[in-house]
Structure 1
Amino acid sequence: MVLMTMIARLVDGLPLAASVQEDEQSGRNTLEYQNQAKMLFRKLNTQSPPFCSIETGPYMFHYFIDGEVCYLALCEKSFSKRLAFAYLDDLHNEFSSQYGNRVATVSRPYSFIEFDTYIQKSKKSFMDSRSRRNLSTLNTELQDVQKIMVQNIDDVLQRGSTLSDLDTKSSNLAVLSQKYKKDAHYLNLRSTYAKVAAAAVIVFVFFIYFWVL
């Protein structure tokens, strides 16, 4: 079952369209997962894997990046991974056809909220076992979904702070390295001066000794 669908602009994480499925029977509340999705959008960039599945509690986020847009769905873990990415691919084809040339120009969140109508139609098609598309017609990029990377939501959302910590540690190491170099230079100078002084003392002692003789 697809519980939530969100589409966002990749460059800044701006939500463009969304559709949330509330299951009153089990009392599910997707607010927490909406917040996770928004944080996830802010983490993703052009270097992120174009296809990825992310575990979050009893559910899975599946996302698909194409150009400047990220398509994301929150599904039950039992929901077919192949169907999830086929669903996202279908949304991508329709959304890019309708709004592709306007994505970069909007500044208001959910500027294409009317796309929810198509999301509901597509979701019903992929969730209804009697009307599921023939998966053999999907493009080759979606054929081997088992190879799509699977991550954990905590790892993904905390990666930014981890990288910041590494940057801080690197900076500290650089400072300590400079300090070590200065200290080593100072110690080398002291060692050199001590050797020169010791040699001078020896020469002076020999001079006094031979002078006395």
Structure 2
Amino acid sequence: MVKLTIVGRVNDGLPMSQGPIYNEDDDNTAYKQHAEFVLREISVNALPTSNTTIVLHHHCFNYMVKNGVCFITLCDVSYPRKLAFHYLQDLQKEFEKIDLELINQITEPYSLRKFDNIICNIRRQYVDTRTQANLSKLNNHRQAELDVHTEQMSIVVERRRKADLLERMMKAHKSTSPVWGSKTLEVIAVKWTPSVTIIFVLAFVLLWSSFKA
């Protein structure tokens, strides 16, 4: 069953439209946050832009990217993956009818509400996998293998955690000693190195003279 759908812009990870959430027994907010997380990871090139399935417990996120727009849907893990991508393709075809200038002007999350109703209408066609239309889609492509990359959500989350940790460590290292490696240190070195060198030479000469005497 198709339980959640989000359509977002890839260049900045902004979710523009969503369909209704059908997770009666699950934490709806958590799954929506995971979908938004997937969208952000795609926007920073941490996830591929090719067709991908990300497994999360007994569910999976399927997504496709086309012309700078990402279409994500959450399904039961038992839901036919080919059907899920047919659903995403239908969404993408309808989305192409929207003015590109309007899409680029969106600044608020989920403000493309005109597409919410389209998501609802298309989703109804994919609720029952046993309809003649859906069985036909599955049978017509029975021999064809989907070229879909597969990830585990736990691995994606851990990869992001490590990347964020590394970034924080690098920032902390730079901020610990702001003088070292800075222009300030360079000025100090240029100003005082000759004086220190002269003092060292004089001290050496005086020490050598005292031993000679």
TM-score by shorter chain over 0.5? yes
Distance 1:6 1:157 in 2: 21
Letter in 1 for 2:34: Q
**How large is the RMSD of aligned CA atoms in angstroms?**
3.9
SS in 2 for 1:123: coil
SS at match of 2:78: coil
Structure 1 residue matching 2:123: 3-state secondary structure: helix
Distance of 2:204 and 2:106 partners within structure 1 = 78
- Which residue of the partner structure matches residue 18 of structure 1? 19
State the distance in 2 between where 1:2 and 1:20 align: 9
Give the Cα separation in 2 of the matches to 1:163 and 1:129.
50
Q: Secondary structure at the match of 2:14?
A: coil
Cα offset for 1:119?
2.5
1:197 matched to 2:203? The reply is yes
Distance 1:21 1:205, change over 3 A: closer
Partner of 1:35: 33
Aligned CA distance change for structure 1 residues 174 and 66 (closer, same or farther; 3 Å)? farther
TM-score normalised by the chain length of structure 1: 0.67
Structure 2 counterparts to residues 1-213 of structure 1, below 5 A:
1-10=1-10, 11-23=12-24, 27-45=25-43, 47=45, 48-51=47-50, 52-96=52-96, 98-99=97-98, 101=100, 102-107=102-107, 108-124=111-127, 127-128=129-130, 130=132, 131-132=134-135, 133=137, 134-135=140-141, 143-145=146-148, 148-152=149-153, 154-155=157-158, 158=161, 161-162=164-165, 164-172=167-175, 175=178, 177-178=180-181, 193-194=199-200, 196-206=202-212, 209=213
Q: Give the TM-score normalised by the residue count of structure 2.
A: 0.67
- Runs of 5+ in structure 1 lacking a partner? none
Shift in CA distance, 67/144, structure 1 to aligned 2, threshold 3 Å:
same
Sequence identity (%): 17
TM-fit CA distance, 1:9: 2.6
Q: Is the 8 A contact 1:40 1:157 kept in 2?
A: no
Structure 2 contact 87–123 (Cα < 8 Å) conserved: no
* Cα distance in 2 between the residues matched to 1:137 and 1:66: 25
* CA distance in structure 2 between the aligned counterparts of 1:191 and 1:34, rounded to whole angstroms: 66
